[in-house]
Structure 1
Amino acid sequence: MTGLSVTDFAAEARAVLDTPVWDWLDGGAEREWTVAGNRAALDRVALVPRVLADVSACDTKTTLVESGANLPVAIAPVAYHRLFHPDGELATARAAATAGVPFTVGTLSSVGLDELAATGAVLWFQLYWLRDRGRLLDLVRRAEEAGVEALVVTVDVPFMGRRLRDAANGMTLPPTVRAALLDEGSSGRAHRRTKDASAIASHTAELFSPAVTWHDVAWLRERTRLPLVLKGVLDPQDAVRAAAEGARAVVVSNHGGRQLDQAVPAAMALPAVAEAVAGLPDARFQVLLDSGIRSGSDILAALALGASGVLLGRPVIWGLAAGGESGCARVLSLLETELRNALGLAGCPDLRSATRLRVASMPYFPGKTP
């Protein structure tokens, strides 16, 4: 591992992963317009630095939802980490524990909750809305028993978007990888190759309910003590409704461009969402940003646009593929270095001052980041 920036790990991951697995990680829906748009939107954010501030020790510690964090970062849910490294989520959770940031365990995790709790990481749990409410509540109870600190409900996947790379590759789980939190054998369809179709998409179509509504969110709120985070919100009205239904935070996200192609880029949607919730009675309500974060300066831009923190997905998996736990740890360490550097050069001794930075917009120009 020779990367000097977070994005260097993309090439290292690409070099070691089979094409179908790389495409599953790297790709998006249909034309992948939104994947590119997430980066374009962040690349257009121009920060206006302040000067003559004491930045000899920039403080990056914060609270995300109700979890302490050394950085305004949580590891985003990504399914089946064992596709990328034999240690899978164990490696990423250990790296998160070392970095002092929350790790979000996915419904489609390839490692069990008890094993992940034993790593000492602060855990959040991501919940896809299953057709079987009994199984859904069982997952919630197991998460509570494992000491999870937040429940992240993905609300933008009534069914999986049309991911053409996966269909062309006939994306299929290998026999060694399974959905460890679901019933034994429940991921069987994900192992059966079908021409011109993703077996993983077929599997999730069996599991996920496309009929979930705000009434279901209220139903869940009454049945768990965990703070709810709704992930996949882009419209300010939905953010306000989430707070009214008792959520503690929303994640402004388009699922990394993997659901609705031509959905608004997440960073473009963020300011309006942040403004809409700014006057809510619950001052603790937070807005997080997911989709496209690749650097410490991206995190600073997210804070300036109104986020309390960010979720980091693909870059952590690049590190996992490139070097297991040490690769993940290196990515997170580089991100911390980049964030501290960006804070200092912007005249921000802490995260609160970052939220007061002025931002401007520049014409998009092609960069080097993937």
Structure 2
Amino acid sequence: MTRTDLKPVRFPTERTCPFSPPPELTELRDEHPVHRLAYPDGAVGWLVTGHAAARAVLSDPRFSARGEHRRAAVGGGTPEPARPGVFIFMDPPEHTRFRKLFTGEFTVRRTRRIEPEVEKITAGRIAAMREMGPPLDLVREFALPIPSLVICELLGVPYEDHEFFQRHSEIMLDHERAMDEAVESYTLMAEFLSELVRRKRGKPQDDLLSRVAASDLTDIEAAGSAMLMLAAGHETTAKMLGLGTYLLLSNPDQLEMLRNRPELINGAVEEMMRYLSIVQFGLVRGATEDVELEGRLIREGEAVTVALSAANRDPGLFPDPDALDLSRDAGRHLGFGYGVHQCVGQQLARVEMRVAFRQLISAFPGLRLDVAPGEIETTRLASMYGVRRLPVSW
């Protein structure tokens, strides 16, 4: 029987464990994989918490990713509409036109060629940490610089501008910030990258941004695509490296197993992606027609928020899902999304995490937190969940 007369819930945000989604999300999923959701702007849509239902929404072309369907699950209301070139808020064929410019740059084969550079960058950060000595902030000295250096090298963005784009990327993704702050940060980033695109058009180099600048995209479209790659290309992996290290230090048995069995690193990264699910407020789609999903009738025009963190803890697919098991097969996790919008840079992110975690735990066998766990601040209302600082010693 199709149900439409359901009382809407609010998206839960309070965590009882820094590594797990809010317990209310688990309770909702265990009750039913699809619930009515009340958005902060007053609209009522849907919340998807089950793995099968999540895959169905993210792979069904009747659910659109276009900007006009965007609704914030938490915060002050509906975000700004999608900007030119930001293709994660587009549907095919427009989405395909933009994405194809980047797909070939992030294949498994291409990222294997990048791996030696990732190894070199990571080794450089390890050496810098040794020279500084403990204690230090692992986010500032390791988790954030590695993906920032890699994406700058790949895109052709000067690394000396890293503090600028790191700061404004963080503001744009933080729901605790006022909307005018996010808009200002977007504008400054767009101006910075538009100028860089114009320079690349006049004097191209062997980098991704030069190849994008040479395409048929306008300056503002190329800048929007570059902003997406620059922000997502460092912010997400940095959050995983910081939070993932915190997770390993909080689970010494799993850390020791990984140290003794380095061949587990590939699967361990997948398990951490499943377990942590840093996209904490979900992915939003809009129904372009009436769709029945798990016995719920989703009306044309209604927004659907897919809670990846709940879907990745679905016991129907992952036995004992709330346990961290770095030896488990977590290959069907949704940490990189699913369907045509699955993260285009996922292979690069995997390489960065494998190399960084492997070198870190090998170089510092005595690595430990330098503060009590309760003192570690998380980005509780940011789109990408993680730790703001991670003081460590060894």
Q: How does the TM-score come out when normalised to structure 2?
A: 0.26
Larger radius of gyration: 2
Decide which structure has greater helix share. 2
Decide which structure has greater strand share. 1
Q: How does the TM-score come out when normalised to structure 1?
A: 0.28
